[in-house]
Structure 1
Amino acid sequence: MKLIRLAAELRALQTEAPGTDPCACGLGVYTGWTSLTEERWPAALMTQLATLRDPEIYEPTFEEYHPAGTRYDDPDAPVALAWFPYNRCDVWRCQACQRLVLRYTEFGGYYVDHRVRVLNTSLIVD
């Protein structure tokens, strides 16, 4: 699994523009962080490309990065690799539409919640 540490490396994964037509993956609408059960995850269409989680960091920070006052689930929130939740994400690509998707799992006291967000490369910050 490729480890991505730099914003430029993450941007470089988007080698071609994602399709604009509706796709069977159904992920295009998830521009902000959204819960998506394993049953709804389009596994047959998805390929895991990389991880943003550094294996040398035992417990990545839960601090978020929102210099413009955005919130965690805001579609305009920055994608900041060193900050939560990006520091716990894997990067996936839909083979049908070429869309890049970030995915991580939230572990609560009584639940496991898979969350996804379509990657908008213009929101990636250094």
Structure 2
Amino acid sequence: MTTTIASLDAEDIRRIAAAYEATPMCAHCAVLVCPGWEAFPGTADESMLKRLGKVKQLGDGSDATLDEHHPSGTSYWSPDAPIALGFHPYNRCEIWACKACTRPFLRYTEYGGYYEERRIRELRHALLSAAA
């Protein structure tokens, strides 16, 4: 059985991020709260998260850019790096949320030459960029 993952556009993602702003963090997802990209903690209970969807791709997604968007000199790892949905790695992310408090997260798998690393970052409304 194949599960279809909903495609979320920029407005959907903004709405998800904004809805969380007034909700306090819970103990279930505290270990996952990473302002910048981090490896998914081995101690985290993944069953406490639910997948909401994936970032909607333009076209068939095969031409998704590997370019990053850092207009203020941030880097991939910076906690204040913009979340630019049209740029790497956000254009290949899924949006997940804590089942208990609804805190939203971005998830992405980095495929290196000899490894795979699941990464997670808190979806913060203030960092969402209009860059596409």
| TM tier, smaller | 0.7 to 0.9
List alignment gaps of at least 5 residues for structure 1: none
Is 1:47 equivalent to 2:50 in the alignment? yes
What is residue 75 of structure 2 aligned with on the other side? 71
* Alpha-carbon distance in structure 1 between the residues aligned to 2:24 and 2:38: 21
Is the partner of 2:95 in helix, strand or coil? strand
Matched, 1:58 2:62: yes
1:18 to 2:23 alignment: yes
CA deviations over 1:13-40 (Å, ceiling 9, x no partner): 13243314x5122212x11000115x43
Q: Report what 1:92 is aligned to.
A: 96
Aligned to 1:9: 12
Give me the whole-angstrom Cα distance separating, in 1, the residues matched to 2:24 and 2:66: 33
> Identity rate of aligned residues, in percent?
35
The aligned residue for residue 27 of structure 1 is: 32
Length-normalised TM-score, structure 2: 0.83
Which amino acid in 2 is paired with 1:90? E
Matched AA of 1:47: K
TM-score scaled by structure 1?
A: 0.87
How many pairs align? 122
Find the aligned partners of 1:89 and 1:27 in 2 and give their Cα distance. 16
Task: For 2:45 and 2:35, locate their aligned partners in 1 and report how far apart those are by CA, in whole Å.
Answer: 16
User: Runs of 4 or more off by more than 6 Å in structure 1?
Assistant: none
Cα distance between partner residues in 1 of 2:54 and 2:77: 20
Aligned residue type for 2:7? L
Q: Distance in 1 between matches of 2:91 and 2:49?
A: 20
